[in-house]
Amino acid sequence: MLLTLVRASLQRHRLRTALAVIGVGVSAALLLDMVMLASGMRESFRSLLEARGFEIRLTPKGTLPFDTDASIDSAGALMAQLRADSDIVAMSPVLGGQVHVRAAAGSATAVAIGIDPAVQGDYEVRTGRDIAAPDQLVASAEFLRATGARLGDTLRVEGGYDAQMRTVTAERRLVLVGTAHFLYMPANPRAVAMPLATLRALTGARGDPVSLIMLRLRKGAIADSVQAWIAARVPPVTPISTAAALRQVDQRLSYFRQLAFILGSVSLAVGLLLVTTLVTVSVNERLGEIAVMRAIGVATGSIVAQVLAEGVVIMSAGSLLGLGLGLATAHYLNGILSSFPGLPAAIDFFLFQPRDAWVSLGLLAGCGVLAGAYPAWRGASMPIAVTLREEAVA
Amino acid sequence: MSDSAPVLSARDLRRDYPMGESPVHALRGVSLEVAAGDYVAIVGPSGCGKSTLLNLLGAIDRPTGGTVAIRGEPVERLSDRERTRFRLLHIGFVFQRFYLMPALTAGENVELPLAEAGMSRAERKARARELLTYVGLGARVTHRPTQLSGGEQQRVAIARALANRPALLLCDEPTGELDAHTGAEMIALFERLNADGTTLVVVTHDEDLAAAAKRVVHMRDGGVVSDTRVR
């Protein structure tokens, strides 16, 4: 009977109920988006850093990975020094550069990374195979589109292009053996990867420089301890553990999260006030009915339960609407924000996490109960005889 | 007076309403006893305290002084929750303005007190249909109040009042909103109800309705001025 009464009450003013649900839906969508935004960047950054199991990154002193053109010189000697730490089980050196590639159907300038194919953690081969010889390279799908190159083609790759002199430092003929997804690059990059020595030769690098070294640790090793050991013994580099990087991200995003928290709270409060107002109006319209119900013996608890249920139904329906609306909005906004230049394509600003969604919906459901509490208490505590007399006079 | 044990016993009932420095004395020591199976009409001019008395007899208001016992239970001693439960199970109310739930069907209106009493869905549907048939509305179970005439709405209200087989049916101006013809049908229904064993107390201005009662209580200025058994 409770459900019958709730349904009947909500159906009595269908337009009002629909508007309330839409209003709560908009608030819920905003709340969900703020919750997703508050943790989305951090979580997607964390999963990006942990994707290939490297826990520490070494960069030239005082820089962030690929933040500047600075490089770590004498990488071979430095890596030999690092092998003294038994916690380090793998090292992946990476050199960044730029090359110009000529294919049969066209040419293009591309971002190039030089890697050690055996331990690289920068890309995943999607078609074909990985690099197995110095004269091989893999490229992004966008690069293939730009140049018309196909797997198995031999490409003329030029490095160290001097725009004034119209000269290049070196040229190699490399075989395209695979297409790859580059993990840390923006969406649709025009990128190639080749052996480290090949890229060094193309760019005319002296010695054995690298832009970055990624370290994989043995299971159970404490990254912060290894980081401290490197900082003390290897002065030319700055070691950054994943945890330290996340701490820096947390610091930089703290204002962002506070903003999201405040906006989320505001949307929650707006939803609460909206439902409280509507349920209060609805109860005020039915004071006579409520008095009659009490006169014929309907318990106060039943009346309170009915009014609370009305609030919960509006909040729940609005929350479901808001869930869909929030996900759609987040998807749209994420598309815009993720195309920001220089950001890795894998970074999501809005990350849907079921736990956060449940927290949001739980908060809204709780607000639904709160929203109905005052009108329910008011409706159920009016003196019956006085209310009936006032209704009769009205 | 009937020989049966009293269903209702009111002693020295008083009800004052605070109204500035001088309170209004709506009831000034009314005593009344109603036996099981009786049919009592309470009449008198407007403002004489009839409805106030009915509210006190029905335990929806608390007296300033005096006692009300229904089936021997002193209702003024009950807590609000107990009084609500007591009304549900022992007292039926019929109001001048019907006061049906507009969003519920006739059947659902009758089911409301049955559901509150804890009756199963199937049982209360059967009981609601039985009661609506009794008041002549067996074919209107699924109609909403807006689809019923005033007389039909009042019949639904009576069916609702009878739902939990109350010891006492209290009616406040039950023909007040009805035309003469429909009012006459309602009077006939009350006579049938009483003949079938329902104890009735009716507050009314309607002389025809009062004339149908077995006993007429006249009130004036918050007190009983006469109490006459007419049949």
Q: Per residue in A230-258, pLDDT tens? A: 888 877 788 888 888 888 888 877 887 88
Instruction: Say yes or no to pLDDT of B2 above 50.
Output: no
Does B95 reach chain A within 8 Å, measured CB to CB?
Answer: yes
What one-letter code names the amino acid at A190? Answer: R
Min CA distance, B116 vs chain A (Å)? 6
pLDDT tens digits, B58-97:
999 999 999 999 999 999 889 999 999 999 999 999 998 8
Ramachandran sector of residue A196 (left: φ over 0; alpha: ψ -120 to 50; beta: rest) = alpha
What length is written for chain B? 231
Which A-chain residues 342-361 have CB contacts (< 8 A) with chain B?
A: none
Note the pLDDT of residue A175: 95
The answer to whether residue B142 scores a pLDDT higher than 90 is yes
Each domain of chain A, given as residue ranges in start order, spans 2-49+253-393, 62-235
Q: How many angstroms from the chain centroid is the CA of residue B163?
A: 13
What pLDDT, in 10s, does the model give residues A252-293?
778 878 888 888 888 888 888 888 888 888 888 888 888 999
Residue A296's region, left for phi above 0, alpha for psi from -120 to 50, else beta, is alpha
Q: Which two tokens stand for residue A158?
A: 């030029």
Q: Is A298 on the interface with B (CB under 8 A)?
A: yes
Which CATH number does the domain housing residue B202 bear?
Answer: 3.40.50.300
- Show the domain range for B104: 6-229
Distance, in Å, from the CA atom of B70 to the CA atom of A223, rounded to the nearest integer, reads 81
Q: Please tell me the total count of domains within chain B.
A: 1
Q: What is the pLDDT of residues A296-353, one digit of tens each?
A: 999 999 999 988 888 888 888 998 899 899 999 988 988 888 777 777 777 788 888 8
Who wins on pLDDT, A271 or A191? A191
Element (H, E) at A336: helix A300-338
Do the domain assignments include residue B164? Answer: yes
Q: Identify the DSSP state of A133.
A: S
By CA distance, what is B95's nearest residue in A?
A292
The nearest CA of chain A is from the CA of B104 a distance in Å of: 7
Kindly state the average pLDDT of the residues A347-372: 81
C-alpha–C-alpha distance, residues A40 and A18, integer Å? 31
Does the distance separating the beta carbons of B104 and A384 come in below 8 Å?
A: no
A311 CA: distance to closest CA in chain B (Å) = 18
**Is the pLDDT assigned to residue B3 strictly greater than 60?**
no
CA quadruple A219, A225, A227, A232: dihedral, nearest 10: -140
User: Is residue A9's pLDDT more than 50?
Assistant: yes
* CA atoms B209, B215, B218, B222: torsion sign: negative
Q: Is B119 within 8 Å of chain A by CB?
A: no
> Residue A392 has what pLDDT?
66
Among chain B residues, the shortest Cα distance to A389 is held by B51
Nearest-angstrom CA–CA distance, A196 and A202: 10
Check CB contact under 8 Å for A8 and B51.
Answer: no
Quote the pLDDT of residue A42.
81
Tokens of A193: 């990867």
Instruction: Judge whether B231 is closer than 8 Å to chain A, CB to CB.
Output: no
The residue-averaged pLDDT of A42-69 equals 79
**Which chain B residue lies closest to A392 (C-alpha atoms)?**
B97
**Out of A67-71, A386-390, B114-118, which region has the weakest mean confidence (pLDDT)?**
A67-71
Instruction: Give the pLDDT confidence of B23-62 residue by residue, as tens digits.
Output: 889 999 999 999 999 999 999 999 899 999 999 999 999 9
What mean pLDDT value characterizes chain A? 86
Asked if residue B1 belongs to a domain, the reply is no
pLDDT the model gives residue A67: 64
Residue B69 lies in a domain: yes
Instruction: Mutation target for B interface from A296, A303, A390, A393: give the one with most B CBs within 10 A.
Output: A296
For residue B104, give the nearest of A4, A295, A384 by CB distance: A4
Confidence of residue A393 (pLDDT cuts 50, 70, 90): low
Chain B residues in contact with A294 by the CB 8 A cut-off are 60, 84
Residue A304 corresponds to which tokens in the numbers above?
A: 């309170």
Structure-token pair, residue A11: 């159906």
Scanning A230-289 for CB atoms below 8 A from B yields: 288-289
| Distance between B216 CA and the closest CA of chain A, angstroms | 24
- A19: CB partners within 8 A, 6+ apart: none
Beta-carbon contacts below 8 Å between A and B? 81
Q: Which of A44, A7, A1, A6 has the alpha carbon at shortest distance from A330?
A: A44
DSSP string, A50-95: HTT---EEEEETT--TTSSS--BS-HHHHHHHHTT-TTEEEEEEEE
Q: Are A99 and A159 in contact (CB under 8 A)?
A: yes
Closest approach of chain A CAs to the CA of B230, in angstroms? 30
- The pTM score is 0.71
Phi-psi region for residue A389, left (φ > 0), alpha (ψ -120 to 50) or beta? Answer: alpha
Please name the residue of chain B whose CA is at the shortest distance from the CA of residue A290.
B101
Per-residue confidence (pLDDT) for residue A339, from 0 to 100 = 75
Please state the ipTM of this predicted complex.
Answer: 0.91
- Residue A156, pLDDT score: 93
pLDDT band at B151 (very low <50, low <70, confident <90, very high): very high
pLDDT at A367 over 90: no
* SS3 call for A100: strand
Is A296's Cβ below 8 Å from some Cβ in B?
yes
Mutation target vs A (from B116, B165, B169; most A CBs, 10 A cutoff):
B116
Q: What is the pLDDT of residues B152-161, one digit of tens each?
A: 999 999 999 9
Residue type, A71: S
CB pair distance less than 8 Å for A288 and B116 = no
Q: Which of B192, B229, B188 is nearest to B208 (CA)?
A: B188
> Which chain A residues have a beta carbon less than 8 Å from that of B61?
383-385
Question: What value, to the nearest 5°, has the Cα angle with vertex A322 and ends A267 and A41?
Answer: 75
